[in-house]
Structures are given as structure tokens and as C-alpha cells.
Amino acid sequence: MNLPPLDIRPDSSVVLLTGAGISAESGIATFRDSGGLWEQHDVSQVATPEGFRSNPGLVWRFYSERRRQASLVHPNPGHFAVSALEQFLASRGRFTLVTQNVDGLHQRAGSQRVLAVHGSLFKTRCSSSECAQGLCSWEDHSLHFQDVPLCPGCGSMLRPDIVWFGEYLDPAIESAAREAIADCDLFLAIGTSGAVWPVAGYVDIALARGARTVLVNLELPANANRFAEVHLGKSADLLPRLLPGG
Ligand code: BV8
């Protein structure tokens, strides 16, 4: 199928938003597709602070398994096309990647300016907000914990540095994302169902700014009508053809 590349000028200001769909072809389960993560797990038990409080071991096993899976797979052509777009814009344009994904594949594909709004599988932090180390997180690639690890600083349980449902996004990361979107002329969403807030509302910031809005997704999500242009298909196939440098 003939697919003309998106006409992105080298001096454009571009924000890319990605979701689990861009990692699907690397072999990482999405959340809401059939067979997705939320079909196999009760969200309230594994992705909420209440779930962590009531069964921290279950939560650690859930995230340890996802970390193990993420470390075994590799970025796909879609991730590399995103990284190539950042290079294409490096000299005269502006580029920000906002990802909901926690799998680290964008970073492994060479993306530099990445706002990981929902955290990272490979970061761990203290669960106590009173702890001196509670606000910092550290890279932790240990693949599996037998027992729930404890903070070396205060002895409280450690937790994945992930934004769970009912938790606020990191204010600095969120405002950086909102600022970039409020300044962009192209907002490109890839592989996301647009089901989770506040990220689901980011396209509206782009629309209010008068930016061009483009969606690349396997199927039409609920918020497809927010996008001026929609390309249906697999991101690993479409992105190298749509993005310059891809
Ligand atoms: C908050 C943890 C303030 C990390 C995640 C307003 C209205 C309604 C509800 C709310 C609202 N505001 C807040 C809420 C509550 C809640 C929310 O949005 N609930 C929804 C579900 C109704 N939001 C929150 O709690 C957020 N916090 O707002 O704080 C607050 C505080 C207290 C009380 C109220 C408010 C925190 C949200 C973050 C939650 N953490 N995950 C992890 O474990 O990974 S969200 C989770 O969903 C992941 O991060 C994931 O990235 C994200 C979004 O999912 P997608 O990435 O879009 O993945 P999905 O499977 O859904 O879709 C994949 C898409 O890809 C599909 O469309 C598919 O067609 C497509 N696809 C598949 N294959 C391919 C493909 N596309 C292209 N190529 C392919 N090959």
C-alpha cells in the first residue's frame, strides 16, 4: 500500500505520545487488547497503592515478571523510527517523546528526550514518603525478589517506581509534557487506547494549540475522533514509512 511519509519539516516542534501498542511487536503484552495484562490480572490488586499495601509480594512478583520479560525482548522498527525522528529534528527542530510505557525499549532504541510519565520497571523507590530516600528512585535491574525488598535507609518496603491508578504523576514530568504539547505543531499518538487519564487528555492540549494531530494505531480507539489524521496498522510497519529518518 502506498503510504506517503508525513511531511515533517526539520524545524518542526513535535511531540510523540506512545502506549503499549508500540511495544506489542517486541513481544510485550498490551493492557486492554484481548489476552492483555488486565485480562490476566486484577488491576486493583497489582497496580494500585491499596493492592501493594494488602499484598506487596504479589505486586513485586507481577512487576518482577514484567521486568524479566522486558529485559528479554528488543526494540522493534517502530521504536527505532521514533529515535530516528528525534535525530532528524535534532539540529533545527524540537522533539519530545512522552511514553506511558515502562519497558525501557524507547531508551534502548536510542531515544534521548523521553518523559516516562508512568515510571519505569527498572526503577525502585522507598514506599515511605517520610524516608529521606523516599523521593529518589534508583536503577534496579534485579530481576526477581524472593521477598519484598526493604529500604536500606529506613527499613520500609521498597516499591516499583511506577505510577499506579489513583496516584499522581510526577509533577515535574507532567508539566514538562504539558509544556511541550502546548508548544508543538505536530502531536503524534502511537499505540495507545486513550483510556487512561490524565494522558488521555493530552491530545486536547494539542488541539487547543492548533497543532496537527495524527494517530497511528492498530484499531480505532475511543478517542480517535480527537485526531485529524488516523493511520490504522502495526506501528513497526507504519512508522518507518511515515516518519523521516525512519
Ligand atoms: C491520576 C502503571 C490524579 C504502569 C498505569 C478522569 C476520568 C476517568 C478516570 C480518571 C480520570 N482522572 C483520573 C482517573 C483515574 C485513572 C484512570 O485514568 N482510569 C481510567 C482507566 C478510567 N487515572 C489515574 O489514576 C492516574 N492518576 O489521575 O492522579 C488522581 C488521584 C487520585 C484519584 C483520582 C485522580 C494514574 C494513571 C496511571 C496508571 N498506571 N500503569 C504499568 O504497570 O505499566 S496505566 C496503564 O495504561 C499503562 O501505563 C499503559 O501504558 C496505560 C495506557 O494504556 P495503553 O498504553 O494505551 O495500552 P492499551 O493496552 O490500553 O492500548 C494499546 C493500544 O495499542 C490499543 O489501542 C491497540 O489497538 C494498539 N495496538 C496494539 N498493537 C499495536 C497497536 N498499535 C500499533 N501497533 C501495534 N502493533
Residue 198 belongs to a domain: yes
Q: Is residue 90 part of a domain?
A: yes
What's the gap in Å between 5 CA and the centre of ligand 1?
Answer: 29
9, part of any domain: yes
Q: Whose Cα sits closest to atom 35 in ligand 1?
A: 166
Across residues 165-187, what is the average pLDDT?
A: 97
> Is 41 designated active site?
no
Please indicate whether residue 231, judged by its CB atom, sits closer than 6 Å to ligand 1: no
Beta carbon of 157 within 6 Å of any ligand 1 atom: no
Mutate to test the pocket of ligand 1, among 79, 165, 203, 223 (most ligand atoms within 8 A of CB): 165
CA 127 – CA 44 distance, rounded (Å): 18
Average pLDDT, the chain: 92
Residue 21, in any domain of the structure: yes
Among 166, 164, 97, 98, which Cα is nearest to 125's? 164
66 lines ligand 1 (CB under 6 A): no
Q: State pTM to two decimals.
A: 0.95
Our count of domains for the chain comes to 1
Q: Are 233 and 195 in contact (CB under 8 A)?
A: no
For the CA of 216, the nearest atom of ligand 1:
77
Task: Please tell me which residue in 118, 141, 144, 231 is annotated as part of the active site.
Answer: 118
Write out pLDDT tens, residues 92-137. Answer: 999 999 999 999 999 999 999 999 999 999 999 999 988 876 556 6
Domain carrying residue 84: 1-28+73-118+168-246
Q: Is the CB of 201 under 6 A from ligand 1?
A: no
Task: Determine which helix (DSSP H) or strand (DSSP E) holds 54, and give its type and residue range.
Answer: helix 49-54
How many angstroms does the Cα of residue 197 sit away from the middle of ligand 1?
A: 6
Structural domain contains residue 149? no
Provide the percentage of residues in the chain whose pLDDT is more than 90: 76
Identify whether 111 is part of a domain.
Answer: yes
40 falls within a domain: no
Task: Report the pLDDT value the prediction gives residue 1, as an integer from 0 to 100.
Answer: 60
- Helix (H) / strand (E) element for 186: namely strand 186-190
The residue type at 36: G
CATH at 99: 3.40.50.1220
Whether residue 221 is preceded by a cis peptide bond, meaning omega within 30 degrees of 0, is no
| Domain assignment of residue 10, yes or no | yes
